């Protein structure tokens, strides 16, 4: 049983959550992705606020479950996971460490800051230059706006010929 | 119509549009012309089903009769669905699916954009979330209209018939009724008529760039918003609702 004297502080808890992998991209943690929005004690109950990456992201309930399991294993028995929709998740919240890990895993990290012009502002968007995470070549092509999950697009490298995922800006 | 009833109706329209189009797109799963397209259509469907859950759960909450998104999706009859006719139209060929998507995405984008300024914060936050997703949907469907329109003779012909055939279902998107009046009055949602000009601007520019011909204004087929549907919806629901109807409360 955790009381107010022995309960771990939120920074310690964030550290622990840094070991909880994202179920779909296990190379990065839920902290790297910026999914955990808040960690705080409300009296003797720990409240962890998380936000979905996409409205239909099937991983969100798995993430809530993994966080709960990780914290229970640390002895936190009174805890509540709160879902937050606002402000909506953005790839700008992915940490530098998260970006580095994505790339090492073979997924090109988001290339620009989210919130560009709307499709109504510019008729055709300028294609982004996405570097191949394997050989760093910028000679790459977009194959499809959507990849293995809604958060990724599919690209292919014209130099090393490998296909790869690009974590697109949102 | 009181404000609460109007809000429930409005939320059902938002949720049902996303649900029925999401279901239609999911029918492509395993049948698309290429693996990449199969993945893309399924991902767009997934976004829409995610948005459906948010809208219909909120509809159920406002209604206050203990119905959640699942109950609303699985246990209503065709006459109780509030989606526009456009989204229930059959997939047809790939051109028809992408033309339907483009008409819808351009409108959906403008609608969600308007809803991000809603006086109801629950609506504004769902819209802000969905808008990010729909931006990608629109970019993609617009690209396909361009690619097929300005493609081969065959793809041009198919895209031209797709934009022509679906045109009569676009009028309903911009027609307001009693429910919309209450939403405008309370600052909850935009007047649908105000979305027409920017929508037409984007559609016209895209269709011209695609070397296609913009269909002429004509008779508009409507009724979906009030629950008067084409026969297609019944078949969709037979597929969508079968499990819950045959095995009530089944879970997995
Ligand atoms: Zn390469």
Q: Residues B3-44: pLDDT tens digits?
A: 999 999 999 999 999 999 999 999 999 998 888 889 999 999
Chain A contact present for B48, CB below 8 A: yes
What is the pLDDT, as a whole number, of residue A116? 62
Of A25-34, A104-113, B240-249, the least confident: A104-113
Residue A164 has pLDDT above 90, yes or no: yes
**What domain range is A149 assigned to?**
96-167
Which strands sit side by side in the sheet containing A152-157, from one edge to the other? Answer: A107-108, A163-167, A152-157, A140-144
**Which band of pLDDT confidence, cut at 50, 70 and 90, is reported for residue A2?**
low
Using CA atoms, how far apart are residues B178 and B171, in angstroms rounded to an integer? 17
A111 within 8 A of A92, measured Cβ to Cβ = no
User: Would the ipTM clear 0.90, i.e. be above it?
Assistant: no
Task: Label residue B119 exposed, middle or buried (CB < 10 Å: 0-12, 13-18, 19+).
Answer: exposed
Q: How many CB atoms lie within 10 A of CB A145?
A: 23
Same domain for A65 and A118? no
> Does B121 contact A86 at a Cβ distance shorter than 8 Å?
yes
pLDDT in tens, B164-208: 999 999 999 999 999 999 999 999 999 999 999 999 999 999 999
What is the pLDDT, as a whole number, of residue B201? 95
pLDDT in tens, A52-96: 998 888 788 899 999 999 999 999 999 999 999 999 999 999 999
> Does A146 contact B113 at a Cβ distance shorter than 8 Å?
no
What is the pLDDT, as a whole number, of residue B221? 93
Asked, for residue A67, whether it belongs to a domain, the answer is yes
> Does B128 contact A123 at a Cβ distance shorter than 8 Å?
no
Residues of A in contact with B129 (CB under 8 A): 52, 55, 85-86, 88
Residue A120 has pLDDT above 90, yes or no: no
> Does A85 contact B50 at a Cβ distance shorter than 8 Å?
no
pLDDT in tens, B206-227: 999 999 999 998 889 999 999 9
Domain count, chain A: 2
What is the pLDDT, as a whole number, of residue B80? 98
Residue A122 has pLDDT above 60, yes or no: no
> Does A119 contact B135 at a Cβ distance shorter than 8 Å?
yes
Residues of A in contact with B136 (CB under 8 A): 145-146, 168, 170
Q: Which residues contact A44 (CB under 8 A, 6 or more apart)?
A: A2, A3, A4, A7, A78
Residue A163 has pLDDT above 60, yes or no: yes
Residues of B in contact with A149 (CB under 8 A): 43
**What is the pTM assigned to this prediction?**
0.93
Asked, for residue A149, whether it belongs to a domain, the answer is yes
Distance B138 CA to ligand 1 centre (A): 29
Q: Once rounded to an integer, what is the mean pLDDT over residues A123-131?
A: 71
What is the pLDDT, as a whole number, of residue A33? 94
**Which band of pLDDT confidence, cut at 50, 70 and 90, is reported for residue A129?**
confident
User: How far away is chain B from the Cα of A88, in angstroms, using its nearest Cα?
Assistant: 5
**Which band of pLDDT confidence, cut at 50, 70 and 90, is reported for residue A114?**
low
Ligand 1 ion: nearby residues, β-carbon < 5 Å: A 132, 134-135, 137, 157, 159-160
**DSSP designation for A166:** E
B176 within 8 A of B192, measured Cβ to Cβ = yes
**Which band of pLDDT confidence, cut at 50, 70 and 90, is reported for residue B149?**
very high
Asked, for residue A140, whether it belongs to a domain, the answer is yes
Sequence spans of domains, chain B: 3-246
Q: Please tell us whether the domain made up of B3-246 is placed in CATH 1.20.1260.10.
A: yes
Using CA atoms, how far apart are residues B97 and B24, in angstroms rounded to an integer? 9
Average pLDDT over chain B, rounded to whole? Answer: 96
Residue A1 has pLDDT above 80, yes or no: no
Same domain for A105 and A162? yes
Which residue, among B35, B50, B56, B141, would best test binding to A if mutated, counting the most A CBs under 10 Å from its CB?
A: B50
Residues of B in contact with A57 (CB under 8 A): 50
Q: Once rounded to an integer, what is the mean pLDDT over residues A133-143?
A: 92
pLDDT in tens, A3-48: 666 789 999 999 999 999 999 889 999 999 999 999 999 989 999 9
| Position with higher pLDDT, B91 vs A169 | B91
Q: How many CB atoms lie within 10 A of CB B38?
A: 17
């Amino acid at each position: 049983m955790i009381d107010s004297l022995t309960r771990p502080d939120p920074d310690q808890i964030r550290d622990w959550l840094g070991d909880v992998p994202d179920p779909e991209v296990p190379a990065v943690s839920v902290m790297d992705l910026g999914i955990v929005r808040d960690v705080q004690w409300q009296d003797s109950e720990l409240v962890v606020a998380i936000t979905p990456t996409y409205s239909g992201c099937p991983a969100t309930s798995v993430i809530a479950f993994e966080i709960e399991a990780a914290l229970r294993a640390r002895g936190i028995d009174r805890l509540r996971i709160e879902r937050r929709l606002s402000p909506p998740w953005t790839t700008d919240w992915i940490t530098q460490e998260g970006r580095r890990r994505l790339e090492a895993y073979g997924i090109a990290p988001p290339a620009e800051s989210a919130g560009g012009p709307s499709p109504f502002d510019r008729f055709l968007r300028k294609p982004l230059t996405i570097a191949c995470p394997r050989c760093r070549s910028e000679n790459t092509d977009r194959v499809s706006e959507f990849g293995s999950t809604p958060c990724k697009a599919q690209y292919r490298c014209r130099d090393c010929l490998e296909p790869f995922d690009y974590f697109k800006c949102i | 119509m009181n404000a609460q009833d109007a809000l429930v109706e409005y939320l059902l329209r938002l949720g049902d549009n996303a649900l029925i189009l999401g279901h239609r797109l999911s029918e492509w799963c395993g049948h698309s012309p290429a693996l990449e397209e199969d993945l893309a259509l399924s991902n767009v469907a997934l976004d829409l089903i995610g948005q459906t859950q948010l809208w219909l759960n909120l509809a159920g909450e406002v209604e206050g009769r203990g119905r959640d998104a699942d109950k609303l999706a699985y246990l209503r009859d065709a006459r109780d669905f509030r989606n526009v006719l456009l989204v229930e139209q059959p997939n047809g060929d790939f051109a028809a699916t992408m033309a339907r998507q483009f008409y819808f995405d351009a409108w959906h984008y403008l609608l969600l954009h308007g809803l991000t300024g809603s006086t109801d914060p629950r609506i504004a936050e769902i819209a802000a979330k969905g808008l990010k997703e729909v931006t990608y949907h629109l970019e993609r469907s617009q690209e396909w209209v361009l690619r097929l329109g300005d493609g081969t003779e065959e793809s041009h012909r198919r895209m031209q018939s797709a934009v022509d055939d679906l045109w009569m279902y676009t009028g309903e998107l911009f027609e307001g009724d009693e429910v919309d009046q209450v939403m405008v009055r309370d600052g909850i949602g935009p007047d649908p008529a105000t979305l027409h000009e920017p929508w037409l601007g984007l559609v016209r520019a895209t269709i011209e760039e695609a070397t296609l011909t913009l269909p002429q204004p004509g008779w508009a087929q409507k009724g979906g918003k009030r629950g008067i549907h084409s026969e297609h919806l019944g078949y969709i629901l037979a597929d969508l609702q079968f499990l819950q109807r045959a095995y009530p409360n089944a879970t997995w």
